[in-house]
Homo-oligomer: A and B are copies of this chain.
Amino acid sequence: MLFDQITIVGVGLIGGSVGLAAKARGVAGRVVGVDRDPDCIARAAKLGAIDTGTTDLAAGVAGAQLVVVCTPVDRIAEVIVTAARHVRPGTYFTDGGSTKSNIVATVQGRLPAGVEYVAAHPLAGSEKGGAENGRADLFVNRVTVLIVGALGADWGRTVTVGRFWEALGSRVVLMNAEEHDRTVASTSHLPHAVASGVAAITPMEWLKLTAGGFRDVTRIAAGDPDLWAAIFEANRDATLAALTQFTDRMTEFRTLLESRDRAGLVRWLTEGKQVRDALGT
C-alpha cells in the first residue's frame, strides 16, 4: 500500500478507473471520491471505484495523502489551487489531464508550502465516458507521462507520484510540458479532430455503406464534445501546428491524385504505412 487515503476529484471514466485500479491493486487503503454531480458519486460508489464520496471538495481532500484530479482539463488547475488550501502539508497532487503546459503554468507559485503537484497524463481513455465505463486495467501497459521541468523536477516528489501511476499498471515516461503538448497534439488531439471531420461530412444515409475502415477512423468522434473542446482550447497552438502539417500532407495527396502520379501516390501511401507498421497492431 502506497497511501492510506487517496482522493479522486472527478469520478468519470478516468477518475473511476483510477479508483478501480487503486483498489484492485491495493495501492490505497481508502479511496474518496469528489464530484460536483451526486449521481456520479453514487454510481462510482456502487461500482466499487470509491469507498465514500462527497460533493464538498474541501471535506473530500482533507485526509488525503494524494489527490488525483480527473476533471475536464479546463478545471484541473483551479481544483488543485482551491483544494490545496484544505490539505495537510506533505500532500501530493497529480492529475489525469490530456494537456499540461497551461495547467502547470496556472498552478505554479500558488501552492502552500509542503504541498506538491506532479502533473501527469495517463495515455488511456475511451470514447465512452463515465465511471460506468471505467476499468481496473485501463492503465495496464499504457504510458503515463510525468511532467518534469517547469515546476522543478524534484526527485522525491517525482518518485512518489511516479510510483503511484506505475502501481496502477502504467509505464512512466518523463517529459517537459511543452514537449508533451506538442507530441499529443499530433498523436491524440489532431487525430480526434480528423475523426470528427470524416464523420461529420458523411450523410447519415451513407452509413450503411461503411466497413471496418470507417468505423476505426471515426470511432473517437463519439467522444464528449465538451471535454474535447476544452482540450483543443488548452492545447490550441500545438494543435494548430499539427493541423497545418496534416493539411500540407493532404494537399500533397491532392496534387498527386490530380496529376495522375501513380508512383508518387504509392510513395505517399508507403510513408504512412511505414509509420503505422512501426506501431504494430
A residues adjacent to B (C-beta < 8 A): 123-126, 142-143, 145, 173, 180, 183-184, 186-188, 190-204, 206-223, 225-226, 228-230, 232-233, 236, 239-240, 242-243, 245-247, 249-250, 253-254, 257-258, 260, 262, 265-273, 275-279
Contacts and interface: CB of A to CB of B under 8 A. Distances in A.
A230 B196 CA distance: 27
A276 B222 contact: yes
Given A143-B208, A198-B190, A218 B253 contact: no
B217 A275 contact: no
A190 B209 CA distance: 14
B123 A209 contact: yes
Nearest to A253: B193
Number of copies: 2
Contact of A200 (B125, B209, B249, B265): B249
A229 B269 CA distance: 8
A241 B204 CA distance: 18
Nearest to A204: B278
B269 A219 contact: no
Given A211-B123, A257-B239, A206 B194 contact: no
B123 A228 contact: no
Given A186-B202, A187-B207, 16 more contacts: A191-B218, A193-B250, A196-B253, A197-B246, A198-B272, A200-B268, A200-B272, A200-B275, A201-B245, A212-B220, A216-B216, A217-B219, A225-B267, A228-B265, A236-B260, A246-B250
A257 B232 contact: yes
B219 A273 contact: no
A118 to B, nearest CB: 18
B214 A216 contact: no
Nearest to A189: B213
**Interface pairs A-B: 10 shortest CB-CB:** A196-B272, A225-B269, A229-B265, A200-B272, A221-B276, A123-B211, A199-B272, A191-B217, A199-B275, A221-B272
A44 to B, nearest CB: 22
A215 B276 CA distance: 8
A73 to B, nearest CB: 13
Contacts of A210: 123, 187-188, 279
